[in-house]
Chain A
Amino acid sequence: MERIEEQVVVKKVHGLHARPATIFVQLANKFNSSVKIESDGEIVDGKSIMALLSLGIHAGIEVKLITEGDDAKEAIDDLKKFLEDEDKND
């Protein structure tokens, strides 16, 4: 069982508002690993839209991703890539 932590700066223009948060949660749920996200000392379940939204993550903020499980590496890579992608459409 692998556990990986990584610091990520969110580059999404509007932070994690509904659409990006939705996609993040959908993405997180594709993996077997657990996904946690830490911001401002608070750790929440990254597979939960309610929890994620309650963190109020906006652009430029630094968060910590924590994945744990057999596909922890793939999970953290994909999620990090997503958060770092500016994608002005979202």
Chain B
Amino acid sequence: MIKIKGIGVSGGVGIGKVLLLRKDEFSVPKRKISHDEISREIYRLEEALMATRKQISDLQKKISQEIGFDHGRIFEAHYLVLEDRVLIEDVIKQIKIKKVNVEYAFSESIKKYVDTLLKLKDEYLRERVVDIEDISRRVLKTMLKEKTLSLSDLKEKVAIVAHDLGPSQTASLPKENVLGFATDVGGRTSHTAIIAKSLRIPAVVGLEVATDNIRSGDKIIIDGSSGFVIVRPTDKVLKEYRKKSNLYTKEVKAIHIPKAVKVHTKDGKSIVVSGNIELPEELPLIKKYGAEGIGLYRTEFIFLGRRDLPSEEEQYKAYSKVAREVSPHSVIFRTIDIGGDKFLSRPEVPHEMSPFLGWRAIRFCLARPEVFKVQLKAILRASVNKNVKLMFPMISGIEELRQAKELLDKCKKELKKEGKNFDNDISVGAMIEVPSAALTADVLAKECDFFSIGTNDLIQYSLAVDRTNEKVAYLYEPGHPAVLRLIKRIIEDAHQNDVWVGMCGEMSGEPIFSFLLLGMGLDSFSMSIPQVPKIKELISNINLKDAKAAVQEALKLSTSKEVEKYLQNELRKILGDDFYRILMI
């Protein structure tokens, strides 16, 4: 039995068998295909070979430039493998005869050759195995990326253990078959954490050594509440945790029963509590958990996992569906926020040294108006029933906001000409997640209708912390005095200009901070949907004046730890021990 400590990011206990995804390794899915799918699989083979050839030619150019032409030639054998008729014919034969998916057929063909080469006595030739395996890995990666990971083929319930999980991987998971997540890297706001929380799957991240100590098929306990992962547990420990798991479910169920949609503080201030939508499948959860609409709809998912850009019509249909479903409440669509840790296969983002500071979000959109306008028009058209709002991510100054609004006006004019309907008074907001925007909130407030504070990014930009880097993740502190001062200032500047303020970061769904933010005057809280009933329960038990008093005290403190401790004590005093304990699970 081994016990490993990480960061618990999504509560609950998951007990089961491990499926290990090694770093840089992937399991090749095997899938039976129907006769009709054969031509598609062959097409995918050609696509992958072509894409890989392109990758290698780029790599070759780079290496030739850096260390000379001759070394670039090492890739010539790679090309020949990609163009090898015997290999390609063999793969196609397997697809046709065995009726299997292209990834599996390809890896089987390669295996055959590798086995032959390994049997040869000639050392030079045996070494070619490395080349062939390298190229085949590239091809397989290209195939898998395009169709996301093999995880979508999960047939039994497993606990996923990985070095890290990308958005495209988690997005393709069959949620009903995942007992829990455990990853080496990541922090409280890593993608894995956000997804796990919103799907209510127990998760522990930042384990550092999980993949070194855990094998596929191991029995594992993932305790997302305490942040412990226990590998190959003894029977006694297993029994203990089974009990804990049952208890958790019962207590949590009680607090997660949604009540009325509208909520107000004990002394009567009404507050909007809405949900963040990460995946389209979460849409039904809005009603289920009694969220007052959608405070953040991440539109990137429409662009994920495909080669072409979705048309205006396709986007319009997707956005309209959301607007219809969420009615009579409203939805805030955040325009494309690619780059950074978000994955998007196309439009391709060039490699950047510091993607978080690079060409992403509104910067990308303003540079590619032909892409941006398609989305803006689609969102506008979805706003006919006046329950759609629009916000721009990563605004760093007033000029970006102006340019984006100018493009929006252009789109409105074009739509009018085309005779298409939309809400001419659509609310336009700026996401405040860059410190420069926070510090010029008074300027921005004069030219938009609302703010949405994106705390995940605001914190990492303010504290200069890459939240996915496990070495510095501990510095990511929502309660840091600098962060609290920025947030307070944003809210005050907004209110002075009659602009309302929401928050869509993870911070708004954390009880102690929800309490603090309430005191700062935040108007609207948006969070991962399953948190909604709990936070509403909290808000309806708080007097605004108590929260305001807590803000005064908290702002006097000098460290995040002091702030958190203070808020915990205050909340416990106000809510009582029992309620507090359940709230904090």
Contacts and interface: CB of A to CB of B under 8 A. Distances in A.
Nearest to B90: A50
A18 B81 CA distance: 11
A18 B128 CA distance: 6
B357 interface: no
Most buried by A among B80, B121, B124, B131: B80
Determine which residue in A19, A47, A49 has the highest number of CB atoms from chain B within 10 A of its CB, and name it: A49
A56 B122 contact: yes
Nearest to A25: B80
Given A54-B113, A54-B116, A54-B117, A49 B125 contact: no
Interface string A20-34: 011001100000000
A53 interface: yes
Given A26-B76, A54-B117, A56-B125, A18 B84 contact: no
B254 interface: no
Contacts of B97: none
Main secondary structure of the interface of B (DSSP, over half): helix
A14 interface: yes
A45 B86 contact: yes
A58 interface: yes
A17 B84 contact: no
B461 to A, nearest CB: 48
Contacts of A48: 84-87
Nearest to A49: B80
B132 interface: yes
A22 B135 CA distance: 15
A53 B77 CA distance: 11
Contacts of B122: 15, 17, 56, 58
A17 B86 contact: no
Interface-central residue, B81, B121, B125, B128, by most chain A CB under 10 Å: B125
A68 to B, nearest CB: 16
Nearest to A47: B85
B119 to A, nearest CB: 8
B117 A53 contact: yes
B120 interface: yes
A26 B85 CA distance: 13
Given A15-B124, A18-B124, A25-B80, A53 B113 contact: yes
Contacts of A58: 122, 125
A16, A21, A50: residue with the most chain B Cβ atoms closer than 10 Å: A50
A49 B84 contact: yes
A15 B124 CA distance: 9
Contacts of B77: 18-19, 21-22, 49
A50 B125 contact: no
Contacts of A53: 113, 117, 125, 128
In this complex, the interface size class of chain A, counting residues with CB under 8 Å from chain B, is 20 to 34
Contacts of A44: 86
Given A48-B87, A49-B80, A50-B84, A17 B113 contact: no
Contacts of A21: 77
B125 A51 contact: no
Contacts of A45: 85-86
A54 B125 CA distance: 8
B80 A17 contact: no
Interface string B117-145: 10011101101100110000000000000
Interface in B58-87: 76-77, 80-81, 84-87
A54 B117 CA distance: 6
B93 to A, nearest CB: 14
Contact of B121 (A49, A54, A56): A56
A56 to B, nearest CB: 4
Contacts of A47: 85
A18 B131 contact: yes
A65 B120 CA distance: 21
A22 to B, nearest CB: 5
B200 to A, nearest CB: 48
Contacts of A26: 76, 80
Contact of B132 (A17, A22, A50): A50
A47 B125 CA distance: 17
B124 A50 contact: no
A60 to B, nearest CB: 12
B113 A22 contact: no
Interface in A28-87: 44-45, 47-51, 53-54, 56, 58
Interface in B245-285: none
Contacts of B87: 48, 50
A50 B76 contact: no
A2 B175 CA distance: 62
B73 to A, nearest CB: 8
B204 to A, nearest CB: 44
Contacts of B80: 22, 25-26, 49
Given A18-B128, A21-B77, 12 more contacts: A15-B124, A17-B122, A22-B76, A45-B86, A48-B85, A48-B87, A49-B77, A53-B117, A53-B125, A56-B117, A56-B120, A56-B122
Interface of A: 14-19, 21-22, 25-26, 44-45, 47-51, 53-54, 56, 58
11 contacts: A16-B125, A17-B124, A18-B127, A19-B77, A48-B84, A48-B85, A48-B87, A51-B84, A53-B128, A54-B117, A56-B120
Top 5 closest pairs, chain A to chain B, by CB: A17-B124, A48-B86, A56-B120, A49-B80, A54-B116
